Structure 1
Amino acid sequence: MKASFANAQGAAVARAPTSGQIRLAEQCRDGPPPDTSIISTVPASAYLCPDRFRAEKERLFGGMPLLIGPSAMLPAPGTMLTHDGFGLPLLLLRDPEGRLRAFLNACRHRGTRLADAPEPVEASQILCPYHAWAYGLDGRLKALPRPETFPGLDKAVMGLVECVSAEAGGLVWVAPGPSADVDFSLARGLLAEDFDALGLGGMHLYARRTHRVASNWKLVMDAFLESYHVQRLHRNSIARFFEDGLSAGDSIGPHMRSAVARLGGLSGVDFSDWAALRRIVTYAYQLLPGAILIASPDYVNLMVLMPQSAGETLVEDFMLIPQPPGTPEEEAHWRKSWALLDGKVFGAEDFMAAEAGQRGLESGAVPDLLLGGLEQGIAGFHARIEALLAR
């Protein structure tokens, strides 16, 4: 069996929290507490209007780097998978040297779709199923049958169409089209520093599942921007682990980062002891245009939001663990964690609430959503969306 790409390259090790991660923990411990007297509103049209949705698809999901998933989804050199969730037919490849590339999943001959591989498969080349044009894992056209019937064909200019991509911090980002001019500096910079601290680049992909959620994508994101619901919606799952409303947040460019304190308090915790800090603080990242990363004490969930319409969103949930299970006891532990988060907390609670919210908004009963003092992260998120749409 091939070694994973992360292990082959030297697995990333979580050595210490970044200064930003420590600062959020200090705010949870020392304050000042957030001003919970603030009230604001968000118009229901932000979730319902088809024209608004089209603008978001064009300006946000068509103009910003798209987070596709963790590096671990392509674990070894010489593997590939396909991705269609954003409406862009992508072919993701890891070449023999381990470099990740992203191409449009279309043959340069007559546009035939080259592959269907939602799960990673080993590949030494890409062969068009229609006329057997053959491409290397670097995208170059290697060979074609009956080349004499294409006189003057320059194979050097007939390679697969590539989309600019970036792999950093254990995550894969892709430009939303071959001609898109997007900035990957945060993905390679401050965000990557935080995710390297979490050790994402060396983690093992334990499980992944795609949920079809009957709601606007922003209602899914909203659930991870406030802690007001934790003791209520999650009362039968994870509420017992967390303090009510004890959180802090900041931003990295347009992206948001938050920390929620677990029961037990931060008093006496050595913040330089990363393992101890993660046991008492859960970090979450709300990444625009649409992804959520949650760092639990010993594993990470990454959710990628792929809007399909104003009222429907695909959410792909990835669970990353430090290393593959080595014993039946370890397998049972991770299986239980996956069932708790993906099956109950996200699937049966957060996504259910988003769907219920969508149905309520579509009734016309609530022209404006009321946000209380513990929900102002949602207000900040919508303000960012407005600013990006206005550019």
Structure 2
Amino acid sequence: MNAPTEGQLALAGVLARGGSRGGGEIAHVAASVYTSPERFADERAYIFAQVPLVIAPSSLLPGPNMAIPHDGFGKPLLITRDKAGTAHVFLNVCRHRGTRLVEGCDAVKGGRLVCPYHAWSYAFDGRLVGLPRPDTFPGLDKAEYGLKRLPTHEAGGLIWFAFAEEADFAEADTLARDFEAFDLAGQHLFRRRTHAVQANWKLIMDAFLEGYHIQRLHAGTIAPFFKDGVSTADTIGPHQRSAVGREAALAALSSNDWATLRAAITYTYQMFPGTVLVVSPDYINLMVLMPQSEGRVLVEDFMLIPEAPATEKALAHWERSWELLDGGVFASEDFRACELGQQGLASGAIERVTLGTLELGIRHFHDAVNAHLR
């Protein structure tokens, strides 16, 4: 197992001492930030169109010469891994007449990427490698007709991209050091599912920025695994890292052994603007948020496990974990609560939401959003 970072061990130390985010006072967030179409338009223009975004785990493309279409961020995208193993994010658009290059949503493996209209073909690194009747395009330089590549960066088991050419991926490398401790890059993608949630994207992020709701909302599912209030968090730039102590392993929180701590703590990373990584002791969930409107967001959930199931028993075990968390805890509880919150906020019944001292990570997140909008 890889070695933990100082930050991961520091959070474990706080949990061993009883855990808390610290004092502070009640804070508030205006209800309008979740319901205003104008506010949402600004967030798309000044945040999602500008900053680095996680698009998928590295394990989505486990081998070379693979490509997967992706439409969640409002433009037709294509995630590829070329023959050398390098990940790319391209616009999924043929450079000839602008036709969508790869249809559907399934993975394409091997061979070439061939346009369905005129059969212009591309390598998985985006190069134009062939076109029918090249004699009818006198003087055309194939080197100038490669797929439009967006800034792409793979680090620590995640593939990041940005729409803005000047995007800086330095913080992705900082986070990657934490993810290497979990061997995120070496995980196997077990399942993925996209949820359409009728709520503002920030309500989803809010739900994973506080542990106050665990004993209440999740009373019938995962609450027994955790001790109420034994949690803590810190920040990495605009991103947040939190830790919650597991009830059955509280005595292990003072251990210096990383494997023991992994079994005792659930780490969660809230990556700005809209990605959540939940690291349970034996598997990992990555959630990528793709806002569609002020009241609707797509959430793609990836479940990552240490290795592909080798037996029917192992397969059944992971299926149960998948349905408990993705179908039960996330979909039926967290996402449903966010939809109910959206309905209430849209009614105009309250002008602001109120945050207690266990929820101040939400205020920090909204401060980061506001800073980008300014």
Q: TM-score range by the shorter chain?
A: over 0.9
Alignment of 1:122-271 (within 5 A): 122-176=109-163, 179-188=164-173, 190-264=174-248, 266-269=250-253, 271=255
Q: CA deviation at 1:286?
A: 0.4
Q: For residue 25 of structure 2, what is the aligned residue in structure 1?
A: 38
Q: Please tell me whether the aligned partners of residues 12 and 253 of structure 2 are also in contact (alpha carbons under 8 angstroms).
A: no
Q: For residue 377 of structure 1, what is the aligned residue in structure 2?
A: 361
Q: CA deviation at 1:119?
A: 2.9
Cα distance, 1:321–1:140 mapped onto 2, change above 3 Å: same
Question: Can you list the C-alpha shifts for 1:18-77, whole angstroms capped at 9, x where unaligned?
Answer: 111000111112267444562111000110111110111111111111100100001111
Alignment of 1:1-391 (within 5 A): 14-30=1-17, 33-36=20-23, 38-176=25-163, 179-188=164-173, 190-264=174-248, 266-269=250-253, 271-390=255-374
Distance 1:140 1:223 in 2: 42
Q: Please tell me whether the aligned partners of residues 47 and 372 of structure 2 are also in contact (alpha carbons under 8 angstroms).
A: yes
Distance 2:19 2:264 in 1: 19
Question: Can you list the C-alpha shifts for 1:221-271, whole angstroms capped at 9, x where unaligned?
Answer: 111011111000000000001011211111111100000111145445464
Q: For residue 4 of structure 1, what is the aligned residue in structure 2?
A: none
Give the count of matched residue pairs: 374
TM-score normalised by the chain length of structure 1: 0.93
Corresponding residue SS for 2:361: helix
Q: Please tell me whether the aligned partners of residues 301 and 317 of structure 1 are also in contact (alpha carbons under 8 angstroms).
A: yes
Unaligned runs of 5+ in 2: none
Q: Please tell me whether the aligned partners of residues 90 and 105 of structure 1 are also in contact (alpha carbons under 8 angstroms).
A: yes
One-letter amino acid of the counterpart of residue 29, structure 1: A
Q: Please tell me whether the aligned partners of residues 276 and 288 of structure 2 are also in contact (alpha carbons under 8 angstroms).
A: yes
Q: Please tell me whether the aligned partners of residues 169 and 192 of structure 1 are also in contact (alpha carbons under 8 angstroms).
A: yes
What RMSD over aligned residues (CA atoms) do the two structures have, in Å? 1.4
Corresponding residue SS for 1:326: coil
Q: Please tell me whether the aligned partners of residues 18 and 230 of structure 2 are also in contact (alpha carbons under 8 angstroms).
A: no
Corresponding residue SS for 1:60: helix
Distance 1:143 1:120 in 2: 21
Cα distance, 1:32–1:198 mapped onto 2, change above 3 Å: closer
Question: Can you list the C-alpha shifts for 1:270-313, whole angstroms capped at 9, x where unaligned?
Answer: 64322211111110000011000000010000000000000000
Which one is further off, 302-311 or 27-36? 27-36
Q: CA deviation at 1:17?
A: 1.4
Q: Please tell me whether the aligned partners of residues 36 and 372 of structure 1 are also in contact (alpha carbons under 8 angstroms).
A: no
Cα distance, 1:226–1:268 mapped onto 2, change above 3 Å: closer
Question: Can you list the C-alpha shifts for 1:357-391, whole angstroms capped at 9, x where unaligned?
Answer: 0000011111110111211111111111111211x
Question: Can you list the C-alpha shifts for 1:92-135, whole angstroms capped at 9, x where unaligned?
Answer: 11111211122111111110000024232213211111011111
Distance 1:373 1:236 in 2: 25
Cα distance, 1:361–1:314 mapped onto 2, change above 3 Å: same
Q: Please tell me whether the aligned partners of residues 16 and 253 of structure 2 are also in contact (alpha carbons under 8 angstroms).
A: no
Question: Can you list the C-alpha shifts for 1:317-364, whole angstroms capped at 9, x where unaligned?
Answer: 000000000111111110110011001000000000000000000111
Distance 2:255 2:267 in 1: 14
Q: Please tell me whether the aligned partners of residues 16 and 273 of structure 1 are also in contact (alpha carbons under 8 angstroms).
A: no
